[in-house]
Structure 1
C-alpha cells in the first residue's frame, strides 16, 4: 500500500471538522499534488475545497495573526493544507507558524513593491498539536486562497526562449521583494519564525532542525552539520562515520570552532527572509496570460544569510549554487556572463541564456546575487560538508535498496574523501 494512503479517510474527516468550525460546507474536495505510489511520507497533504456558499470576511470574524480576510464578495474555493507530522526529519514545534509568518512578510513586501499578489492569502490556521492530540485531528493546518495556474516546472522547458526570459524577469522581481521583506525587530536571531501569545512574529525553531533560533550564522551551521551527523548515526550503511578516526575529526572540527574558521571572510551578520525551496515546482504560471500567478510553499522559510536561498533553490533556472549548474557556476559566482562557454549543446545554450537573463534580472531588481556575497565560496564549503555527511541515497532505507553494494561503496568513498579533504584544509590553513 502507498505509505500515504494510510489515514486518507481520517484526513478527509478532519478536513470536514475544520470547515465546520467556520460553518462552511464543501461540495467537492480534491487532493492536490497527490502521487499515488510515493515511497516516502508527504510533507503536507493539500486539498482544493469547493464550497457550497462563499466564505466572506464574516466567516473569519476572529482574525488570527498573519491572516487576511477574503474579499467582500467572498470566495467559493479554498486550499486546505495539512502539515504531516509523520514526515521524516521535520521539526513540528512551530512549523505552521513559520509558514504563515513568512508568507505574511513576503505578501507585505510584494504589495509594497507594487507587484501582483502572488503569495496566497491565509484565512485561518492551527498549529500542530500532534501527538498530544492523537491522529489527524492533531495535524497543523492552513486555510488559504486558491490561486489558478499550473506548476511552472512542467511548462518551462516548452516555453520559447523569449517567454522563458519574460517569466524569469517576473520571478526576479518577486524574488527581490521576498529577499527585501522587512524583518520585524522582534526577530533578532538566525532560524525560522513563530508567533508569540500577543500575536507578534518572533524567532522560532527551523522546520528542518531541532532547537534554535540561533545567536549567530556559525551556530546555525553547527546545528545543521550536527543534525546531518545524527542522521548518519541512524544510517545502517554510514554508521556515523565511526571508523578510521573520521568521526573524531568531525567532532573536533565542530567543537573547536571549525565552522567559524570557514566563515571568517563572510558577512555573518546579514539576515534576510529566505523562501528555502524556491524552485519552479513551487511557482504557478498561466500560459494564456503568460504571467506568474503564485509563489507557494514557504514551509522551509528562514531568516538567515542571503546565500542560503541559492544553496537550496533556483537551480532549475541556473541561479542556484548547485552541481546541476556546474557549467555556469563560475559565472554565477562572479556575475560575469559576458562570454558563452564553449562546446555547449543546444539544450545547454538555452540554459545558459536563461541563467544569464536571471542574473541580469536579479541585479536590475536590486536583489543580492551570489556574486554580491563576500565569502560565498566559504559558505559553499559548508554546504558541501553538509551534503557529504549524510547523502539521502546513503541514509534512506528505500534509496539504499535501490543501489548495488558497489554503487553504495563508491558513493561512500567519494563522500569520505571530500570530508577528509575539507577537514584537513581547515586544520592546516584556517
Structure 2
C-alpha cells in the first residue's frame, strides 16, 4: 500500500509537460494551510533571530508559496542564486513601498541556499493575489491597456529612482555578508562578477561567448573568412564606443529583466496544493510576471526575480522592453 507521500504521485507527474520548450527555472507550489496561523513571531516576545531578508509569517496567514530551484537548468549558477533572489526581492519591496499600497512585492519568510553541492535551494514567500496579465491583456481595450502600462511605468520609475545601499558597489548579483547586509556578488545567470562598470559586464559576457565559440567544433571560433578578426575588432573598439555617449553611465539600479520574456505559470490543484509551472508562449502574450485584479485593473504583484540583478537603468529596456527598439 503506497504511503501518504505517494498519494496523487502520478497526477503530479502527469502535470509536467515533457514537450515544454522551456526548462523549468523553479518548481513553484501554492500551499494552502488547513487553517490560518493563530500566532506569529513578530511581537516583542520573540527572542529568536531571522535569516537575512526574511520577516515573520503574519498571524492569519493561510496561503504560502514555496519555490524549489531547479539545479539542472542550464545557464544558472547556484552559488548565490537563492541569495540574489531574496536580496533583490527585499530591495524591490523597499523601492515600491511608497508607490504601491498594499504592497505588490512578496515578503520572504525563509530560504535555503543552493550553494553546497547537490543542495536544494528554496524560498518560502508570501502568496500574492491576482491573476496573470498575459492572457487577459490581449482582450483588453485600449484604455484598459493604457491604464495597465501606466502602472508598469510607475514600477520602473520607482525602481530606477531608488537609492541602493552603499554596500552594493558593483554591477552584478547580490548576496548577504556575515552581518546580514546586502552586498555585491556574482551574477547567477553568468557565474561571474560583480563588475566595476556597466561596460565591463558586457565586455566579460562577450569574451565568454567567444571562448565558448572557440571550443565549439562546428563554429570553430568564427574564424572562417576573417569573421573572427572583425568580431575581435568590435569587442576591442566598437563596444567602448557604444558606451561613450551613454549618459549617467555609472548609475546602478535594480533591474527586473523579466517583465515580458516568460509567460506566467499555469496552475492546477494537486493533493491539497496548487502546483505552478511555466508553459509555452501564448500566441499574443502581454506583460508577464505581473498579477492584477481583473475587476479594478490594479496591479497586485510583481513576481519572479530569477533574472534580476544590479545594472544600468538602460538594461531594463534592453531586456524587459526590447520590443520598443531604440539605442543607448
Does the CA contact (< 8 Å) of 1:180 and 1:273 recur in 2? no
Residue 72 (structure 1) aligns with: 59
Change (3 A) 1:145 1:236: farther
Question: For the residues of structure 2 that align with 1:233 and 1:87, how far apart are their CA atoms?
Answer: 23
Which one of the candidate residues 80, 88, 91 is aligned to 1:105? 91
Determine if the alignment matches structure 1 residue 146 to structure 2 residue 127: yes
Does the CA contact (< 8 Å) of 2:80 and 2:115 recur in 1? no
Does the CA contact (< 8 Å) of 1:47 and 1:79 recur in 2? yes
Determine if the alignment matches structure 1 residue 203 to structure 2 residue 184: yes
Determine if the alignment matches structure 1 residue 190 to structure 2 residue 162: no
Residue 339 (structure 1) aligns with: none
Determine if the alignment matches structure 1 residue 288 to structure 2 residue 295: yes
State the superposition RMSD in angstroms: 2.7
Determine if the alignment matches structure 1 residue 264 to structure 2 residue 241: no
Determine if the alignment matches structure 1 residue 127 to structure 2 residue 113: yes
Does the CA contact (< 8 Å) of 1:79 and 1:146 recur in 2? yes
Does the CA contact (< 8 Å) of 1:97 and 1:194 recur in 2? yes
**Structure 2 unaligned residues grouped into runs of 5+:** 261-286
Question: For the residues of structure 2 that align with 1:151 and 1:232, how far apart are their CA atoms?
Answer: 38
Question: For the residues of structure 2 that align with 1:305 and 1:167, how far apart are their CA atoms?
Answer: 25
Structure 1 length-normalised TM: 0.61
Runs ≥4 residues deviating over 4 A: 33-36, 233-237
Aligned residues: 287
SS at match of 2:84: helix
SS at match of 1:49: strand
Question: For the residues of structure 1 that align with 2:167 and 2:205, how far apart are their CA atoms?
Answer: 23
Superposed CA deviations along residues 120-146 of structure 1, whole A, max 9, x for unmatched, are 11111111135x2x3xxx121110111
Does the CA contact (< 8 Å) of 1:103 and 1:119 recur in 2? yes
Shift of 1:39: 4.5
The equivalences for 1:402-421 within 5 A come to none
Structure 2 length-normalised TM: 0.79
Greater relative contact order (Cα 8 A, min sep 6): structure 1 or 2? 2
**Structure 1 unaligned residues grouped into runs of 5+:** 1-11, 14-28, 314-319, 334-376, 380-430
Shift of 1:243: 1.7
Relative to its length, the structure with more helix (as a share) is 1
Question: For the residues of structure 1 that align with 2:230 and 2:68, how far apart are their CA atoms?
Answer: 41
Shift of 1:250: 2.6
Does the CA contact (< 8 Å) of 1:115 and 1:174 recur in 2? no
Determine if the alignment matches structure 1 residue 41 to structure 2 residue 28: no
Residue 322 (structure 2) aligns with: 321
SS at match of 1:125: strand
Change (3 A) 1:161 1:258: closer
Shift of 1:37: 2.7
